[in-house]
Amino acid sequence: MKKIYLILAHDNPVLLERLICRLHDGASSFIVHLDAKTDFRQFKFLEALPHVELVADRVRISWGGIGCVIATLKCMEMAILNHKEGTVILLSGQDYPVKSNGQIDSYLSNHRGNVFMETRYLKDRGHHSDRERKYKVEISENKGGIIMVAPGLSRLLVILMLRRTISLSFALRIATKKRKKLHIPFCTGSQWWAMDIQRLTELLAYIDDNKAALINHYRDSFIADEAFFQTVAMHVWGQVEGVILPSLTFHHFEKHAPSPIVFKSMHQLDVLQSLPNRTLFARKFDANSGKLIDALDALNAAR
């Protein structure tokens, strides 16, 4: 079964190479976007892999910003341009399969036409409504380097302007303009999704027709990559029963943590092996996850 993996990566070339080699089964292609901040020299091995396509127009990505959405859109557009069929699967360079390639094929074949994406309406998320009402201000590109500022003149806004954290024009916009709500209900959910080329074409068609409004809104929103595609998907397919199914990717957050836990201990193997059939991937892994990944590969090789 043909699969097109879209991979967003920024570091750990060894893990990225292992991920690609593990998933390459003769019927898979890989479209890789490297953060523009990343030194490409450590990823030059990708150029020698015939099944890998690199996004040339790389985007600078900051945590919680719109850059991740733009990078994903570039990968999606490349998938549509270069591939006529197949299932498109969005992963990060720190994801890894928890099922064999055969099990991945079997599950996707049995669910052709479905969209695998975690989605929920913002109105069901309580205080998270600030993501639609307040302005996002980046203090730094690092994780946690974002604050949300309410529309209107405030002491916080004056401090940000005086410290030149934000431009005068942005400060005036915050002070004088409430954020406009989208013309469709704001949704949130996990960043990672999968769908076939036909569904991807439908999604991109709506985005292309409304791109300016969507980009402008989510440029000011916190963690845009966990809302942009979810909002559009729910508008396009949310009323059609049975189209949207849960995400294929498992992750686990500790209470109040900004990032999911890293799988690197052998005692976590039982957790990963006990995941339901619909869970094909997990995140996240890092340079210290080698032994755990070895054990996962050994178990899946027997399947």
CATH of residue 32: 3.90.550
CA dihedral of residues 237, 8, 132, 282 (deg, nearest 10): 70
pLDDT of the chain, 303 residues: tens digit per residue:
999 999 999 999 999 999 999 999 999 999 999 999 999 999 999 999 889 999 999 999 988 889 999 999 999 999 999 999 999 999 999 999 999 999 999 999 999 999 999 998 877 555 557 888 899 998 877 777 888 999 999 999 999 988 888 899 999 999 999 998 888 999 999 999 999 999 999 999 999 999 999 999 999 998 899 999 999 999 999 888 899 999 999 998 887 777 889 999 999 999 999 999 999 999 999 999 999 999 999 998 877
Same domain, 76 and 204: yes
- What are the structure tokens assigned to 291, written together? 């032994």
Measured distance CA(225)–CA(33) in Å, rounded: 15
pLDDT, residue 128, reads: 58
**Do 147 and 236 belong to one domain?**
no
The 8-class DSSP code of residue 262 comes to: P
Q: Which two tokens stand for residue 154?
A: 């405030």
Q: Does residue 129 lie in a domain region?
A: no
Query: 14 — phi, psi (to 5°)?
Result: -65, -45
Query: Which residue has tokens 């980046």?
Result: 138
Cβ partners under 8 Å of residue 48, min gap 6: none
One domain for residues 192 and 84: yes
Number of H helices, E strands in the chain: 11, 14
> Half-sphere exposure of residue 97, counting CA atoms within 13 Å on the CB side?
23
Compute, in degrees rounded to 10, the torsion defined by CA atoms 246, 256, 187, 147. Answer: -150
Domain check: are 164 and 223 in the same one? no
198 and 166 fall within a common domain: no
Which burial class, exposed, middle or buried, applies to 137 when counting CB atoms under 10 A from its CB (0-12, 13-18, 19+)?
A: buried
Q: What is the pLDDT of residue 239?
A: 84
The answer to whether position 128 is within a domain reads no
Q: Are residues 255 and 216 located together in one domain of the fold?
A: yes
pLDDT score at 86: 96
Cβ atoms within 10 Å of 175's Cβ, excluding its own = 15
**pLDDT value at residue 145:** 82
**Token pair in block for residue 244:** 């949207």
- What pLDDT does residue 121 have? 87
Q: Is 242 left (phi over 0), alpha (psi -120 to 50) or beta?
A: left
Place of tokens 């990505």: 61
Instruction: Identify the pLDDT of residue 126.
Output: 55
Same domain, 10 and 30: yes
**Inside any domain, residue 106:** yes
- In this structure, the answer to whether residues 45 and 155 fall within a common structural domain is no
Please give the pLDDT value at position 125.
56
The helix or strand, by DSSP H or E, that contains position 180, with its residue range, turns out to be none
Residue found under tokens 């054990």 = 295
pLDDT for the residue numbered 215: 95
- How many domains are contained in the chain? 2
In a shared domain, residues 161 and 279: no
Same domain, 91 and 213: yes
Full domain range(s) for residue 165: 135-176
151/175 Cα distance (integer angstroms)? 6
The answer to whether residues 214 and 167 belong to one domain is no
Task: Evaluate whether residue 181 is within a structural domain.
Answer: no
* CA geometry: angle 168, 170, 176, nearest 5 deg: 100
Q: Is residue 93 part of a domain?
A: yes
Q: Pairing state of beta strands 120-121 and 187-188?
A: antiparallel
Q: Do 143 and 240 belong together in one domain?
A: no
